[in-house]
Amino acid sequence: MDTPDTPSRPARPISPEDEISRLRKQLAAVQADHDRLAFILDSIPDHISYVARDLTYRVCNQRYEAEQGVNRDALVGKHVTEFVGEAGFDKLRPHVERALKGELVTYDNRMDYRYMKEQDVQVQYAPHRAEDGTVLGFSVYVRNITAQRRAEEMLRRQAQHDPLTDLPNRILFDDRLKQVIARANRAGKQFAVLFIDLDEFKQVNDALGHEAGDQVLRDVAQNLRQTIRRSDTLARIGGDEFVLLAEEFDHADQVKTLAEKMVEAISNLPSPALQAMKVGASIGIALYPDHGEDARTLLVRADEAMYEAKQHGKGRCFFHGTYPG
C-alpha cells in the first residue's frame, strides 16, 4: 500500500489500439441497438415512417415495400409528394400542417395497397420536438381498418335489416319515418305510409310449410322492390306485414296508383314456391298530415285502413277514413 510519502504511480497511457478497440465496442453496441429497432419496426404489420420538417422521408419500415411495392431505401430522402403525388398531398396538407405545429393528428382515409384497392385506413401523425420545443418532424402510423369497418357495417346492417328479405326492419323504418316527418314539417310537404298485409298467406304456410312461406316472402319483397320508386322506403315489420314510406308525390291519386300496382304485383307473383296457390295483398294508406302528424298515429291509421280493405273483400287498397259504406 502506498503511504502519503510514496508518490502515486502514473496512469498507463491508453494506446491507439485500446482506443480503437473501445470505439469498435461502442459502434457494435450502437449497431446492435439499431438492428433491434429496425427489427421491431419491420415486425409491425402497419406502415410506419418518419418525415422530417422538410417533408422528406428519413425512415420507412418494411411494410412500405411489401404493401406498396416501393423500394424503401430509395424512398428515404425523397419528398412526400414523390410517394403520394401532388393531388394526394393536397388532401394531406391540412393534417401535415397541424403536425408541424406540434399537434397529435389522427384521421381516417382511403388508400390503395399493392394487392388491395380502396382500403380504409386510420392515420396518426405524432410530432417530434427538440428540447427547445421546435418540431423537427413527425412519425407516421398507418393502420388498415378495412376489416373492422366491414364488420361494423355488417353488424349495423344486421341490426337494421330483416334477415329473411334484407329489407329495412321496424327499427330502421321508424328512424326514417321520423326523419321524413321532420323534413315534411319544415318544407310543408305531404307523404304517405302504406301498410301492406298478404292475403291467404297462412294457407301457404299450412299447406306448403314454412320453408315455402319464407321463399314467398322473399319473392314478394323482390317483386315490390321492382314496383316502387327509388325514393320510397319498403320495410318488413314482421310476419307477412310490410310498410312503405312514399315521398315526393303531388296528389293522393299518385299514391293510390302506386298501391294498386303493388296489389297487382303481389297477386301476379311469379313464385315457384307457391305451386298452384295464390296470394294477394290488402293495403291501407295514411297521409301526412291529413291522417296524423306523428309516426305512431300514421302507422295505426294505415293499419286500420288495411283491415278495412280486408273486410271489404281483400286485394284492394283504402285510404284511412274513406271506406265504402
Contact 190, 290 (CB under 8 A): yes
**Which residue's entry shows cell 313464385?**
271
277, three cell numbers: 296457390
* DSSP state for residue 46 in the 8-state scheme: S
**Catalytic annotation present for 240:** yes
Exactly one of 232, 240, 294, 303 is catalytic; name it: 240
Helix (H, G, I), strand (E, B) or coil at 247: coil
C-alpha cell at 38: 429496425
What are 322's three cell numbers?
Answer: 274513406
The three grid cell numbers given for residue 172, joined into one nine-digit string: 330502421
Matching residue, cell 314482421: 238
C-alpha separations of 37 from 33, 41, 73, 241 in Å:
6, 6, 16, 63
Query: Which residues have CB under 8 Å from 229's CB, separation 6+?
Result: 246, 248, 258
Cβ–Cβ under 8 Å, residues 201 and 282: no
Cβ atoms of 273 and 216 within 8 Å: the answer is: yes
Exposed/middle/buried for residue 153 (C-beta within 10 Å: 0-12, 13-18, 19+)? exposed
Q: Is the dihedral of CA 263, 265, 271, 276 positive or negative?
A: positive
Residue in the structure block whose three cell numbers are 321532420: 182
List, by residue number, the catalytic residues: 240
